[in-house]
Structure 1
Amino acid sequence: DLRHEGRNADIFRANFAGDPRVYVPKIFWEHSSRQVLVMEFVEGRPLAEFFDSQADIETLKTLARNGADIVLKQIFQDGFFQADPHPGNVFVLDGNVLCILDFGMFGRLDKTALLVLSRVIQAAAKKDIDRLFKAARDLGVLPHESDRTELKIAVLDLLEQYHGLPLKQIDVPQLLRDIIQLVCRHRVGIRHDFLFLIKALGTIEANGSKLDPNFDMLSHAEPFIRSLVLRRFSPGQLLDDTQRFSEDLIQLARESPDHLLDILRQTRSGRLKIEFQHKGLEDPVSQFNRSSDKLVLGLVLAALIIASAMLAHADIGPNLPYSDIPMIGGVSFLIAGLTGFWIVFDILRSRKK
């Protein structure tokens, strides 16, 4: 549905209203539909033409800085960002104004996700693995039940590689590749919005470096990241957190008596049910059942042997040929022998499994 792309363009335009560095083509809704999106015609030069152009250095530096600012604002301030800001989606207009053209692929980070992302960044900067993993779980990046011992070691090794380095010495593309490799190697579940985020950061770093070989994306992103971290402790955010916490407490206080009374009623009437789901007990229970079966067979075998011995000395019926042992005693010994052989065979077979 191309109307979705048009709505993305309208949101993007509203987020950058009043910013002279950005231009977003107008959407003509009266001529648009699910299959057709009619946009304002814009004349400009693709950003890629400036990668090898003879434009003056200041123009190229301005384009690199403005392009990075636009994407970083989308991510860390708006939480609504173009996931694929490659140079083919950007035109340069007169006055070095950047015109964004493609609005099909966008990532979204709501207010809560941005605040938790700030916790991830802060914990990573301090190499606090436990806080980092807790924040990652809150973002839905890590499953709660995962075995994280090896993953913690891998994350700590990654942080050690880059911790303490000046921002200019950090190879951003390599850092992003290391993160993706770690995620894939340890099969970490990650939201698609964060994959979009990594893709967007990698793209603007590549664009900036092609425009300005001295472009330092991390140094450029530092003010945006610092603002995101400090936003957690702003008076407005603290007031919002306090209000939300108070609402949760009030709701808990209102609902708890009814829930407790319901539990007491079910207990008194004998209708209280507790569901128990065991994990990992299937093998021990199965082993116990097999051992019990073998014990029973062993007792039966012992009884057969004793009975056979008693019958062998009894004077009952005809004897076996060329023997003074009663035939019934011989048959009993044969049955006991076959049973013993089967028990030994079953024990040896179960040990091989």
Structure 2
Amino acid sequence: MEMSLLSMNRSYRHMKRYRQVISVLVKYGFSEILARTNFWARFPISKKLLRGKSIEGSYAVRIRMALEELGPTFIKLGQILSMRSFLIPPELAQELARLQDEVPPVPFAQIKPFVEKELGRELGNCFQSFQEEPIAAASIAQAHPAVTGDGQEVIVKVQRPTAREIIATDMEILMEFAQLLEKYVPEIEQYDPVGIVEDLAKTTKRETDFLNEARNIELFARNFQEVETVYVPKLFRDLTTSRVLTLERIKGVKPYRPEVLREAGLDPKVVAQNGGRALLKQIFEDGLFHADPHPGNLFILPGNIIAPVDYGMMGRLDSHLMSLFTDALIAVTRKDVEGIIRVLTQLGITDERANLMSLRLDIAELMDSYYGLRLGQINLRQAIERGSELARNYRVRVPSNLLLLGKALGTYEELGRTLDPEYDFISEARPYVRRLIRRRMSVGELSRQAFKLLRDTYRLLRVLPGELELIVTRIRKGNLSVQLQHRGLEKLIAQIDRTGNRLSLSLVIAALIVGSSLIVQINRGPRLFGYPAVGILGFVIAGIFGIWLIITILRSRNL
């Protein structure tokens, strides 16, 4: 009950934003979803919002346009969904990948006091100069060129002053809506809307804390301190907070097209190789990788040196995930379908309703389609998309870090082939994969795994007798309880609850009418229009309740 009241308080507090979200969804033709979730029954929002004209176009385009109009949180939701191509149709994933995060900048009059408050000093004491107009402005932050006190050129990334508040409000709205979708739209439950919103909450929390990005930069710099082909911009820690990030300004060439690199005296083929090897090192050696290596996030310096920027979206592969990733690679090289199924099971990402026999056959067919091809003939991005389609068909839920890995690999392979049509990313990866497999199959690693297995088995055997004894004791005493969870009854319970409320109100109305009739019949007490006032008041109240009840029934379309 207390949680329900808290939820209601939040809903009323954010009513203005709720109205904005609903009006945008109606504008782009999604009023049916609102109707199915019974959204307006939970929030006092006029149904006039649902009668507006809708913009025409394919559903994928309309979804993208709606997310762009709704702002940073919804744009980030679209970006997360675009990576989960195993969940959504390919045309929607492709459209969401085009999401634009460009908005008018916050005026300098608001930025200046915000930066001064964050850094605890006046702007003039931090920088020799600070450009008022940003060179880039997105929904969460904008970037201003500046010069430090000792004359170093920097980029100051400043979070929008209201970004966190807007995101917090939007997260509450999205969670509310996701719960309603799971409750009232059964066919959407398989996509795990609540889980997606929870993932979004973690992502936005990381990306709105610039100290997290600062830590990523420091880790990157340490990992590449001895690699001459990669340059990591210098971080200015004393000019960095959770909402302001100051980095060395990188002046280089964006690798959008090979001719642009050639004009700058750079070699596109070498750039493609250097970037690919840098990404492979991140994945196979460091376990920390840049998850969005598109041309806008890369600068090329003289000498074909790669300088990545924007370290907000990073992926991590811990020892457990890397071990399973290696097992999957070994299974693929051996065409071991059972091995792949085993990895999926260990990751806990196979849906219990999935048909494993059919999944085995489709995995084997996918692997056979690449049999006999040279590595250079395999399109990695296309292979990832086919794997995503397979995952979507069998409701396989992929961990977020593996999604980021697939995104990074697919994005960079496309960039590499843009710079050099003969670039073979898979061949570049082969030495790393071989080293990884050799390490996995080495005597030392096998001994370590065997020791870990023995240790875990020993721990299990040590506690097992006590646990079994406890279960037997509870059975003897009749204290063993089994918890059952009923699913799919929420809609029925809500309907019964509404019916009960209407019936109760009908009885109250009937009682008011009967009681008022008796009072009028007795004809005593204060008079109003020649009749007992209490009786007249009872009729008025009964009439108001009756009209309200009739309107409610008609609006629900359940006569």
TM-score of the superposition, structure 2-length normalised? Answer: 0.46
Alpha-carbon distance change, 56 to 147 in structure 1, aligned in 2, over 3 angstroms: same
Paired position in structure 1 for 2:299:
91
> Which residue identity lines up with residue 191 of structure 1 in the other structure?
P
Alpha-carbon distance change, 177 to 39 in structure 1, aligned in 2, over 3 angstroms: same
Q: 2:477 aligns with which of 257, 270, 289?
A: 270
Tell me by how many angstroms 1:115 deviates: 1.3
The answer as to 2:214 corresponding to 1:6 is yes
Larger Rg: 1
Query: What does the per-residue CA deviation read over 1:209-250, in whole Å, with 9 as the maximum and x for residues that have no partner?
Result: 122111111111111112222221223322321332232133
Paired position in structure 2 for 1:43:
251
> Which residue identity lines up with residue 162 of structure 1 in the other structure?
Y
Alpha-carbon distance change, 178 to 249 in structure 1, aligned in 2, over 3 angstroms: closer
TM-score of the superposition, structure 1-length normalised? Answer: 0.72
Q: 1:126 aligns with which of 334, 351, 354?
A: 334
Distance 1:275 1:245 in 2: 31
Query: What does the per-residue CA deviation read over 1:171-192, in whole Å, with 9 as the maximum and x for residues that have no partner?
Result: 2232222122222233221112
> Which residue identity lines up with residue 395 of structure 2 in the other structure?
R
- Tell me the SS of whatever aligns to 2:322: helix
Query: What does the per-residue CA deviation read over 1:286-312, in whole Å, with 9 as the maximum and x for residues that have no partner?
Result: xxxxxxxxxxxxxxxxxxxxxxxxxxx
The answer as to 2:258 corresponding to 1:23 is no
Query: What does the per-residue CA deviation read over 1:72-97, in whole Å, with 9 as the maximum and x for residues that have no partner?
Result: 11112222111110011111112221
> Which residue identity lines up with residue 339 of structure 2 in the other structure?
R
Q: Tell which deviates more after alignment, 192-201 or 57-66.
A: 57-66
Equivalent residues in 2 for 1:246-325, closer than 5 Å: 246-266=454-474, 269-271=476-478, 273=480, 275=482
CA contact (8 A) 1:51 1:210 kept: no
Tell me by how many angstroms 1:58 deviates: 8.4
Distance 1:139 1:257 in 2: 29
Distance 1:175 1:120 in 2: 15
The answer as to 2:279 corresponding to 1:71 is yes
Alpha-carbon distance change, 20 to 242 in structure 1, aligned in 2, over 3 angstroms: same
Distance 2:239 2:376 in 1: 49
Distance 1:193 1:104 in 2: 14
Q: 1:241 aligns with which of 449, 457, 467?
A: 449
> Which residue identity lines up with residue 229 of structure 1 in the other structure?
I
CA-based RMSD: 2.5
Alpha-carbon distance change, 58 to 167 in structure 1, aligned in 2, over 3 angstroms: farther
> Which residue identity lines up with residue 250 of structure 1 in the other structure?
Y
The answer as to 2:346 corresponding to 1:162 is no
- Tell me the SS of whatever aligns to 2:248: coil
Paired position in structure 1 for 2:311:
103
Alpha-carbon distance change, 186 to 144 in structure 1, aligned in 2, over 3 angstroms: closer
Query: What does the per-residue CA deviation read over 1:123-159, in whole Å, with 9 as the maximum and x for residues that have no partner?
Result: 1222222221111221233235532233222222211
Q: What is the percentage of aligned positions where both structures have the same residue? A: 33
- Tell me the SS of whatever aligns to 1:39: strand
> Which residue identity lines up with residue 308 of structure 2 in the other structure?
I
Alpha-carbon distance change, 43 to 57 in structure 1, aligned in 2, over 3 angstroms: closer
CA contact (8 A) 1:43 1:93 kept: yes
CA contact (8 A) 2:261 2:268 kept: no
> Which residue identity lines up with residue 216 of structure 1 in the other structure?
D
Tell me by how many angstroms 1:19 deviates: 0.9
Tell me by how many angstroms 1:201 deviates: 0.9
Tell me by how many angstroms 1:63 deviates: 0.9
Paired position in structure 1 for 2:290:
82
Paired position in structure 1 for 2:414:
206
Paired position in structure 1 for 2:141:
none
Task: List runs of 5+ in structure 2 lacking aligned partners.
Answer: 1-208, 487-559
User: Which protein has greater RCO, CA pairs closer than 8 Å, 6+ apart?
Assistant: 1
